[in-house]
Each structure stands twice: as C-alpha cells, then as structure tokens.
Amino acid sequence: MEKTAWQAWDEFLISAWKANAHMGTVVMRFLQDNDLMYEQITNWELDICFSMVGVDRRSPKVALQLRYPVRVFFHQFFPKANDLLWEGKEAEALLKMRCYRVGIAVQPHPSREMAGLKRKFHEMDPSKGLPVIPGTNAVSIRHARRLLSDWGTVKPPARQRGGRL
C-alpha cells in the first residue's frame, strides 16, 4: 500500500528533526520531490503549495515559519511529539504528531528559562522596588559609582585642601 502525501510529510519531518535540519530547506526539498517547480513554490503561498501536494494540517502556513530549525517548529506546534522524539520514541511521536494542527503563529515559543525569568520578574512585589546594590542604595553599577565618587560635590580650593597630590 502506497503512503499518502501527509504520511510521507510526517515521516519526512521526523527524519529532518533527527538530522537537525532547517525548516526552509526541508520544505523546499519535500515540495520539489512532489513535482512542484521552484518558481511555483516561491510565487505561491505555502498553504496553497502544500494543499496541491495533499498536506494540510501539519504543514507550515506562513513563510516566517521557515526561518527556524525543524526542532523549534516541533517545539512550537508538536510539543508532546517533540518530547517523545527526545526520548527516542519515534513511532509514538509519529502517532502523537497526527493529533496536532499547525496554526499561523509566527514567533516560536520562548525557551523555558526565559519564560521563568519573565514570570519571576512579573511576580516581584512592586512595593519592594528594584534590587539594590548593597551599601550604595543604587540600582545599576553606573549609578553606584556616581554615588561613591566625590564628583559633583563642591570642594574647597586646592590650597585649603592641602595642595595637589
């Protein structure tokens, strides 16, 4: 029994994930393997190209989605399948991947560390203010240096201070 286009696309995408390929080259190679010319691919919208081939649900919809590696695409649109692939369970990932549909979101999800830092910053109590550098009551190092220096203060003339050093 011959595979349908969407089954071939799913397997092609998983093999690209294993090869850590870039999404733009993967899409171009798949569409050219399915008898679409380079001019057609570049002139038409992505969803039209993929619908002509027979793939609708798990194909990229916007050209900006092609700027990232396949693993970022998986992380954003197929998160559980991505976790299964990291565990080495390809068959389960292939089945789990078929539950998802690709949307038109352009930006990839931020990393977990960045999301944690943003959450921690937003959960800070605003009454406490920003963290200060100990001993200076300053927020930034530049401000702390200004507080510790004697620049900007009125000083007596040099002869009253004991002359120049």
Question: Where do the structural domains in the chain lie, given as residue ranges?
Answer: 5-108
Q: Please tell me the predicted confidence (pLDDT) of residue 99.
A: 83
Identity of residue 51:
S
- What are the residues whose beta carbons fall under 8 Å from the beta carbon of 56, sequence distance 6 or more? 6, 47, 50
15/164: higher pLDDT:
15
Cα distance between residue 88 and residue 90, in whole Å? 6
Instruction: State the average pLDDT for the chain.
Output: 77
For residue 78, give the nearest of 63, 92, 93 by alpha carbon: 93
Look at 154 and 73; give whichever has higher pLDDT.
Answer: 73
pLDDT over 70, % of the chain:
67
Q: And the tokens for 138?
A: 């300053």
Q: Is the pLDDT of residue 161 over 90?
A: no
Per-residue pLDDT, averaged over 54-80, amounts to 84
Task: Average the pLDDT over each of 78-82, 95-99, 141-145 and give the range with the smallest value.
Answer: 141-145
| pTM given for the model | 0.60
Q: What confidence score (pLDDT) does residue 14 get?
A: 93
pLDDT of amino acid 15: 93
Residues in Cβ contact with 127 at an 8 Å cutoff, skipping those fewer than 6 apart? none
pLDDT at 84 exceeding the cut of 70: yes
Neighbours of 87 (CB within 10 A): 10
For residue 161, the tally of other CB atoms under 10 A from its CB is 10
Q: What's the pLDDT at 24?
A: 86
Q: Return d(Cα 84, Cα 92) in angstroms, integer.
A: 7
- Integer Cα distance of 47 and 135 in angstroms: 60
**pLDDT exceeds cutoff 60 at 113:** no
Q: Which of 56-65, 69-78, 88-97, 149-158 has the lowest mean pLDDT?
A: 149-158
What is the model's pLDDT at position 98?
A: 83
